[in-house]
Amino acid sequence: MTIHQLSVFVENKSGTLLQVLNLLKEANIQLIASTISDTVEYGIYRIICSEPQRALDTLKEAGISASVSDVFAITLDNTPGRAADAIQQFSAAGIGISYLYSFLLGGKGILVFRTDNADKTREVILEKRLSYIEEKDLSQLQ
Amino acid sequence: MKNNSMYLHPELETMTRPEIEKLQMERLKTTLQRCMNAPFYKKRFEEHGLKPEDIRSLEDLRKIPFTTKQDLRDNYPFGMSVVPLEQVVRLHSSSGTTGTPTVILHTQKDLDEWANAVARCLYMVGLRPGDIFQNSSGYGMFTGGLGFQYGAERLGMLTVPAAAGNTKRQIKFITDFGTTALHAIPSYAGRLYEVMEEMGIDPRRDTKLRTLIIGAEPHSDQQRRRIEDMLGVKAYNSFGMSEMCGPGVAFECPEQNGMHIWEDYYIVEIVDPETLEPVPEGEVGELILTTINREAMPLLRYRTRDLTRILPGECPCGRHHKRLDRMKGRSDDMMILKGVNIFPIQIENILMQFKELGSDYLITLTNLEANDEMTVEVELNEFIDDYGFMQRLTKEITRQLKDEILITPTVKLVPKGSLPKQEGKAVRVKDLRKTLI
């Protein structure tokens, strides 16, 4: 129920994002989804991509601070209100969402998120039979 | 009975205080006579109505005026030589990035004595023929290159002049040659470890590295312990300066508690950088050195600008040569911010306590609307994908810095490797304040 997320520490300086993207381009890594929000001095650029481990090695070799971690990924039907229904389940269990972003893949909505309680989140996903994806599903869905 | 195998030069290293002072006085007398061959010293002595014979005791040394870096610049390149140029076999010049370069000249005997001093230091920390010594200093004009090369060879070690840079090749040499001892500046030692990690090399398992010589860059004891932990070595602090030859001026013994300064080479004084009066024993001040074992270019009461103190008490290693505490910064490094005196080392000591932070940092001083501001950028060692964590970390660093320096700096976490480096040395302070008229 988790997929790998590549996180890159980027300075708020013109050109840093492009440098990261160019390195991934040269390594022929495909981006599936990515997000970054506005901050003052630095940002965390979070990426779902093909071959996250190889992407990490590529960036680290270029001296860029990055890490790969696991994030939850659940799939939703592409109809209004499904995200609210899903999040309602976590909220009811007292789970806090640290961050969340979503994208469409193969006609399905994918909700990527991290919570303040991974074990409890797992329980809720299983108990409420939420449909989720794993790392291997990503390549098939493309 | 002393175990003589601990000392390379037992007769000199284990002299008692009276023996040291007697030798110093003899060598000082010779040095002063020789100095009269240089128009610079001759004139200066005359101006002060001073003759070499007036110096009858080590106390009398204080009658002699200080020699400064400016004197070296004013007499660039050969004006301070006390021997004819045909006796000079080596010249080292500073980079001159902060003004006219300074030049230091050596006779063959000077080079021999320099090699002896460095060999003595390396022997002191347990290095012996059979050890393989790799030197990652820049060669050429930078004295850390040739200085350690000659000293390590004098000791009889297989010496690898790897020189600076090319970290992967440096590591290849370490593994291929079975390097047991390495000389590196502290920030570079950290870099080596990072690259070893990336290459999947465990320094404890995959290398024979056991001894590290660190110097040339001020660092804290925490930083040393961290380097020792990372690389699985014992790291010894080395103090040198190009005006005094280079490395081999003072060095830690196995006690790792202060650096013995070789008093058969130098007379040490510690003075208040403002009043230039001696400070009470054990207090911090500017290090003043007089060379007494040098032919080509003796320096009398040279103002090193380095701030340190003499550690009180006896050293269990059996050497009575005084011990210098680690450098507290330079008298010209001192920042005055909102009327508060601050040394970069104070900031470094705080930063080194955070395991999340790397060893490189940059202090930038600005003044916006006549208000002094300090920004401290520090490299993150391990990147953690958590804004909340990084905010809390930034806050905690800021709070601890404020407790230490009484000013609230702006702390910025930056990616590893993003801070500027010059000639392998990390740039620590950038003062962008505009003088207000």
In chain B, positions 363-382, which contact chain A (CB-CB < 8 Å)?
A: 380
Shortest Cα–Cα distance, B191 to chain A (Å): 11
* Chain B residues whose beta carbon lies within 8 Å of the beta carbon of residue A65: 380, 383, 415-416
CA distance B351 to A100: 33
Residue A100, CA distances (Å) to A78, A112, A114 in order: 17, 6, 7
Confirm or reject contact between B384 and chain A (CB < 8 A).
yes
Indicate whether B26 pLDDT > 80.
yes
Q: In one letter, which amino acid is B244?
A: M
pLDDT of residue B437: 44
Question: What distance in Å separates the CA atoms of residue B288 and residue B64, rounded to the nearest whole number?
Answer: 12
pLDDT category of residue B381 using cuts at 50, 70 and 90 = confident
- CATH class for the region spanning A2-68: alpha beta
Give the closest residue to B250 by CA, choosing from B266, B265, B264, B239: B239
Q: Where are the domains of chain B?
A: 1-331, 335-431
**Which residues in chain A have their CB less than 8 angstroms from residue B388's CB?**
98
Is A119 in CB contact (< 8 Å) with chain B?
no
Is a pLDDT exceeding 90 seen at residue B407? no
Interchain proximity B385–A61, CB inside 8 Å: no
What average pLDDT does the segment B78-87 reach? 95
Q: From the list A41, A61, A64, which residue is nearest B412 (CB)? A: A41
Contact A11 B384 (CB under 8 A): no
According to DSSP, the residues that pair with B159 across neighbouring strands are B133
Position B257 confidence tier, pLDDT thresholds 50, 70, 90: very high
Structure tokens at B27: 């060598």
Q: Do B380 and A66 touch (CB under 8 A)?
A: no
CB contact under 8 A, B387 and A63: no
Of A105-109, B14-18, B334-338, highest mean pLDDT: B14-18
Q: Choosing among B383, B384, B416, which should be mutated to test the A contact, i.e. which has the most A CBs within 10 A?
A: B383
Question: The tokens 């990503």 sit on which residue?
Answer: A138
**Does B417 sit within 8 Å of A9, measured CB to CB?**
no
Chain A CA closest to residue B358: A65
Q: Which residues of A touch B417 (CB under 8 A)?
A: 63
What CATH fold (topology level) applies to the domain B335-431?
GMP Synthetase; Chain A, domain 3 (3.30.300)
**pLDDT surpassing 70 at residue A139:** yes
Does the pLDDT value for residue B3 go beyond 50?
no
CA nearest neighbour of B175 among B206, B200, B153, B145: B206
A46 to B412: CB separation less than 8 angstroms, yes or no: no
User: E strands within B124-272?
Assistant: 132-135, 158-160, 181-183, 211-215, 234-241, 246-252, 259-261, 266-271
Task: Return residue ranges of chain A for CATH 3.30.2130.10.
Answer: 2-68, 71-141
Tally A–B CB contacts below 8 A. Answer: 38
CB contact at 8 A, B290 and B47: no
For B120, the token pair is: 């003595």
Instruction: Compare all CA atoms of chain B with the CA of A98 and give the residue at the minimum distance.
Output: B386
Q: Is the pLDDT of residue A78 over 90?
A: no
pLDDT attached to residue B170: 96
Q: Is the pLDDT of residue B328 over 90?
A: no
Which residue of A65, A68, A97 to mutate against B (max B Cβ within 10 Å)? A65
Overall pTM surpassing 0.90 (yes/no): no
Residue ranges of A 80-109 with Cβ closer than 8 A to chain B: 98
Cβ separation B415–A41 shorter than 8 A: no
Do B385 and A67 lie within an 8 Å CB cutoff?
yes
3-state secondary structure of A55: helix
Helix (H, G, I), strand (E, B) or coil at B301: coil
Three-state secondary structure call for residue A51: coil
Domains B1-331 and B335-431 alike in fold: no
Q: What average pLDDT score do residues A88-104 get?
A: 94
Interface check for A69 against chain B (CB to CB < 8 A): the answer is yes
The β-bridge relationship of strands B340-342 and B335-337 is antiparallel
Q: How confident is the model at residue B2 (pLDDT cuts 50, 70, 90)?
A: very low
- Pick from A38-52, A59-73, B22-36, B333-347 the range whose average pLDDT is largest: B22-36
Q: What is the pLDDT of residues B84-142, one digit of tens each?
A: 999 999 999 976 655 678 999 999 999 999 999 999 999 999 999 999 999 999 898 88
Does B435 score more than 80 pLDDT? no
How far is the alpha carbon of A81 from chain B, nearest alpha carbon, in Å? 29
What pLDDT, on the 0 to 100 scale, is given for residue A141?
58
Q: Does B410 touch chain A (CB under 8 A)?
A: no
Class level of CATH domain A71-141: alpha beta
B413 touches chain A (CB under 8 A): yes
Measured between alpha carbons, how far is B46 from A38 in angstroms, rounded to an integer? 69
Q: Which of residues 48-67 of A touch B (CB under 8 A)?
A: 60-61, 63-67
Q: Tell me if B207 sits within 8 A of B162, measured CB to CB.
A: no
> To the nearest whole angstrom, how far is the Cα of A48 from the nearest Cα of chain B?
14
CATH code linked to domain B1-331: 3.40.50.12780
Q: Among residues B182, B291, B309, which one has the least CA distance to residue B245? A: B291
